[in-house]
Amino acid sequence: MPPISILVFDIFGTVVDWHGSIVREVQAVYPQVDADAFARAWRERYQPAMQRVRSGEIGWTRLDELHRGMLEDILPRFGLEHLDEAERAHLNRVWHRLNPWPDSVAGLARLKSRFTICSLSNGNIGLLTNMAKRGGLPWDCVLSAEVFHAYKPDPRVYLGAAGVFDVSPAEVMMVAAHQDDLAAARDCGLATAYIERPMEFGAAHIKDVSPDPANTYHARDLLDLANQLGC
C-alpha cells in the first residue's frame, strides 16, 4: 500500500464543537430559549436537507442556504418567529463562528508537520474559510462538498479529494468523528481515522465512541492521532 500523504477532515463535531458553540451564542442573545434543544433541533434537519439535494429533489444548494431553510423551520417552535431579516441572517452565520475543540489547533499543527491537511466538509467554502480564520485552523487547503457539487457520503467527494492532489485514494486518510462518514470513505479506498467526540451533542447526550476495527486508526482526539502518526 502507498504511504498516506493527505489527511482530510470532517469538520462539524470532529474539529469544531458545533453544539457547544451554538448553545453559548443562543444563551447569550436569547436567554429565554432552551439552547440545547435549539442546537439539536437545527442539526437534526441537516441530513434531511442535504438528502433533498442528493435525491435530485432540488438542485445544488450550498449549506449556508440549507442551514437558513432549517432555521426558518425551527424559529416558531422556539418563540423566535419575530426575528427580523438581519437577526436571522446573523444567527444563521453562527455556523461560521463555531469554536474548535481544545485539542484541534495544536493537533492540526502537529499533523501538518508531516502531512498535507485539508478540510473535507459538507460546509461551503466561505463558511469553512471564515471558521478557519476565526479559530486559527491551519489548513493547507480548504476543500468542500461545494467543489464537487455533491454532499457526503457521495463517492464524488472522497474520490474528488484524491483527484485534487493527484494521488490514489489509498494515499488519503479521512479523519472524522462519525462512523458513517468513515465507512463511505473506506468504500472509496481511503484510509480512516476515528476521533472520539463523546460530547458532540452536549453533556446531557453523551455519544457512543466505541472503536470500529475497520478503521485504520482510533484516537481520543487530534493530539492522540498526532502521537499515533509520529508527529
Domain ranges, ordered by start, for the chain: 6-17+98-228, 18-96
Cell of 181: 462518514
Q: How far apart are CA 139 and CA 116, in angstroms?
A: 8
For residue 2, what pLDDT band results from cuts at 50, 70 and 90? confident
- CB-based contacts of 103, cutoff 8 Å, min separation 6: 221, 222, 223
Q: For 213-223, how does the pLDDT look when each residue is reduced to its tens digit (9 = 90+)?
A: 999 999 999 99
CATH class in words for 18-96: mainly alpha
**What's the pTM?**
0.96
Please determine whether the domains at 6-17+98-228 and 18-96 fall in the same fold group of CATH: no
Q: Are 9 and 143 in contact (CB under 8 A)?
A: no
Check residue 221 and give its pLDDT.
Answer: 98
Average pLDDT of the chain, as a whole number: 97
For residue 135, what pLDDT band results from cuts at 50, 70 and 90? very high
Strand order in 6-9's β-sheet? 141-144, 116-121, 6-9, 172-176, 191-195, 217-219
CATH code, residues 6-17+98-228: 3.40.50.1000
Collapsing DSSP to helix, strand or coil, 225 comes out as: helix
Q: Are 196 and 177 in contact (CB under 8 A)?
A: yes
Q: For 42-72, how does the pLDDT look when each residue is reduced to its tens digit (9 = 90+)?
A: 999 999 999 999 999 999 999 999 999 999 9
The percent of residues in the chain predicted with pLDDT above 90, rounded, is 99
